[in-house]
A and B are shown apart, each in its own frame.
Chain A
Amino acid sequence: MEPLTWTGSLSVLDPMFLLAWIAFGIAVVVQIVATFLAAEDIVEHEVSASTRKLAEYAVLGVKIIAGLILLMILAYVVGGILMPSLEAKGIVGAVSTRLLPVWIALLATFAASIAFKRRLGLYGKLFDSMVGMIGFAIVMFWVFTAIFGAMDLIVTHDPLAQVSGMKNKVPGTALPDVEGAFPYYLLGGDNLARDVFSRVVKGAWEVVKVAPFATLFAFMVGITLGLPAAYFGGRLDTILSFVSNLILAFPVILLFYLLVTPEIVQTGIPVYMAAVLFIFPIIFMVILINSRFYVQPVKRSVYLVIALVLGLWIYSGVAWNADPLGLIEFPPNLLVVFVSVVFVNSPTVFRIVRGIALDIKTRDYVAAGQTRGEGPWYIMLWEILPNARGPLIVDFCLRIGYTTILLGTLGFFGLGLSPESPDWGSTINDGRKLLSIFPHPALAPAFSLMSLVLGLNLLADGLREESLRD
């Protein structure tokens, strides 16, 4: 069979699309220079009418061309879905057809969120900012892709299956013999003749299932230690700050190499570290509940028992792999990766929390709480923490992106994850040896990782903008 073209029957649009991009580039440069000159003129001399006119035209031009480009991208995606056959769809069309559940979920999320945005607090306000919306869309795109990919709705082939004759084939190559399988490798084959598209989709799940939780754990550790360090100060603060500076002075890669090598794993050190690090969420929840409800003994006891039973159950399964019910399992190599990422992230979170808490500690409402006779933990967790949430939420988004980068680094050096694992870092590492001849196996995960981290950064920017506005 003939290989697929990139855009199939919609290739009539291609020259226009290219032209639009060139025009967009020129217009952006003109616009920047013109607005810069125009602003300079206002300050220094009489307003020069021609410069201002040029600036206005340039701004308008950029907007029109950007709109045109967006329309054409939409045409490629929607047109691709509507085309009847795979050959007419082309690679872009076929990929967007495979991603149909993701588009539907994205549309539903956005429609619901925008309809109810006034009732949704900070999350709703996100939809007032263009940057935040773009970031949220990119992040949710990858989250949905990961979830539907894990449910086998999107992938076209088994990410580990090798098809002979498909080694390093370019995107859109047809499979030699089709027996009910998808007839093409949409994004080509890698150096072991596996489908790049399916691997990228499965790789998204590897990131989505680890990065947010690792970041959450790092936050629990950082908050549980950072608040008392700032609130009590003194020797506790000195010791904790020294330890966190100690960890921060370690080059991350050296730490990874020291923690994730098989010899160290053999000694069980990562498991002990997990045992220490994972106890913090339980401590956090217990103190949180206790400080709030200690005046209502019945309520407190009930909540505490629920939290402790649930927490210790998950803890025994995750950290020690000894779940009494046998329900929770945590693969040992994933645990090592998880622990090292949490370990690297928590000192930074500690420093941020400590900094914010030091500032909030001096506010009047904290003094009021102290006069009222509230305990120190109540003030820390129910007065200081809620008022520190803005910067912490923003940092949480940024830190998920950073964790994604760290996970990619681990994969890039072949540390921790199994060699067959479809995660993006490992795939880039596999592809880099033949990069100058067959770039496509490494490019697809590279762009995926970049877009996800970019989305998280934009989301954080949007959140910061909106939370500063109150």
Chain B
Amino acid sequence: MGIFILRRVGVMILTALCLTFVVFFLTNLYPALEKLAKTQGNQRMSDEAVISYLERHGHLQPLLIKYGQWLGVVPGFVHENPETGAITARCATRGMDPSEAPRFCGLLQGDWGFSTVFKDDVSSIIATRLGLTGKLMFWVLVVMVPSALIIGVLAGMREGSRLDRSLSTFSIASTATPEYVSGVILITLLASSAGWKIFKGTATSAADNATLENFLLPVLTISLYGVGYIARMTRASMTEVMTAQFIRTARLKGVSFRNVVLKHALRNALIAPFTVIMLQFPWLLNGVVIVETLFNYKGFGWVLVAAAGNNDISLLLACSVVAVVVVLVTQLISDIGYVFLNPRIQIS
């Protein structure tokens, strides 16, 4: 088991390095850097001015060295102006004497860079925004997981019944409705002058004070898309268990239907949905970005869109690190959890 986890963690770190390198490469292409120089300096900069700006800030070094500096395994960039002798260093924070700056500064040292859009340290932006998205995700999981499991189990325990068919139709409909569609429909029905105006169409105020009025619609919107998929997986797993030999044996020896479902089938049927729920996280992340944009809830997804739309390189890199880590960690948990939950799997 230990070796299995170690190997998985090793692959995970390798994947994370590859992915962050790809993002680093794509965000550090010359046109993006040129735009950065122009937004930081002035819009009508000449080409030479752009190049000298980029050189002064170390953007023209080889890609691998820049990546190493960003990670914090290569000493930070130091530039000395040949004429004036003025020193600029990547690791010097504002107001610090560049010659006293630390040698390394990167992710490993906890220095995530400075956001050019929000004029703040990236690490503090990410921390507060992730907190807000965490709140959203928590409520999404609270709504989504139990309802999906209940729908799936109810539909799967008697395959082909009326209940099964109604619930399956509902799950198909919910997987066919992406967040930007269900969000629009929910706002129209429950938060516009055309429908009942009982909820709010924006969730901006939910950041400080989440109430049912301003938080229910975004939570419901994300949950709806995920419910259908998890419910279908639970149903498939439940129908499979219900046709198993040991269930028939239990029924034949006279165990009541309720007890068969609750005590014998349920536990075995919930192994597969666990993996599915964990693997849903990348999609939830998608949903979060869409819903936070639609409802103007200023969490992680909103920051990602703002960073990508405004060419904020450090912030975008940090966002992608977080996103990639979330996805990879949930994959790891799902793998390990599957092995723990299912004693039939031997690792070797």
Contact = CB atoms under 8 A, between A and B. Distances in A.
A59 B161 CA distance: 12
A266 B328 contact: no
Contact of A249 (B19, B173, B311): B19
Interface stretch (B22-30, B132-140, B145-153): B22-30
Interface string A248-273: 11111110011101111011010000
B163 interface: yes
A443 B193 CA distance: 14
Interface in B151-173: 158, 161-163, 166, 172-173
Contact of B29 (A36, A245, A263): A263
Interface in B246-289: 256-257, 282, 285-286, 289
A253 B289 contact: yes
Contacts of A435: 184, 187-188, 192, 201
B172 A443 contact: no
Given A35-B162, A40-B257, A436-B191, A251 B29 contact: no
Nearest to A442: B184
A439 B32 CA distance: 37
Q: Is the interface of B mostly helix, strand, loop or mixed?
A: helix
A414 to B, nearest CB: 9
Given A435-B188, A461-B172, A254 B158 contact: no
A194 to B, nearest CB: 18
Interface in A429-455: 429, 431-432, 435-437, 439-440, 442-443, 446-447, 449-450, 453-454
Counting chain B residues whose Cβ lies within 8 A of the other chain, the interface size class is 35 or more
B107 interface: no
Contact of B161 (A39, A252, A258, A432): A39
Given A39-B158, A263-B35, A44 B256 contact: yes
Nearest to B308: A257
Contacts of A31: 162
Contacts of B285: 251, 253
B320 interface: yes
Given A249-B327, A436-B192, A446 B15 contact: no
A393 to B, nearest CB: 18
Interface residues of A, number: 58
B127 interface: no
B26 A446 contact: no
B331 interface: yes
B320 A449 contact: no
B323 interface: yes
Interface in A279-315: none
Interface stretch (A81-89, A366-374, A378-386, A405-413): A405-413
B290 interface: yes
A425 interface: yes
A215 B289 CA distance: 24
Q: Is the interface of A mostly helix, strand, loop or mixed?
A: helix
A454 B256 CA distance: 38
Nearest to A424: B181
Given A43-B257, A267-B31, A28 B166 contact: yes
Contacts of B311: 261, 263
A401 interface: yes
Contacts of B158: 39
Nearest to A404: B178
Interface string A16-42: 000000000000100110011001100
B15 A432 contact: no
B178 A409 contact: yes
Of listed A31, A36, A266, A446, residue having the most chain B CB within 10 A: A446
A40 B158 CA distance: 10
Contacts of B185: 443, 446-447
The 3 closest A-B pairs by CB, nearest first: A257-B308, A454-B176, A439-B188
Interface of B: 11, 15, 18-19, 23, 26-27, 29-32, 35, 158, 161-163, 166, 172-173, 175-178, 180-181, 184-185, 187-188, 191-195, 197, 201, 256-257, 282, 285-286, 289-290, 293-294, 304-305, 308-309, 311, 316, 319-320, 323-324, 327-328, 331
Given A43-B256, A437-B192, A454-B172, 14 more contacts: A44-B257, A249-B328, A251-B286, A263-B32, A264-B32, A409-B180, A428-B184, A437-B193, A439-B195, A446-B180, A453-B176, A454-B173, A457-B176, A461-B172
30 contacts: A32-B163, A36-B162, A43-B256, A242-B11, A249-B15, A251-B323, A253-B285, A253-B290, A257-B309, A258-B23, A259-B26, A263-B311, A264-B31, A266-B31, A267-B29, A401-B176, A405-B178, A408-B178, A429-B180, A431-B184, A432-B184, A435-B187, A435-B201, A436-B197, A439-B192, A443-B185, A446-B180, A454-B177, A457-B172, A458-B172
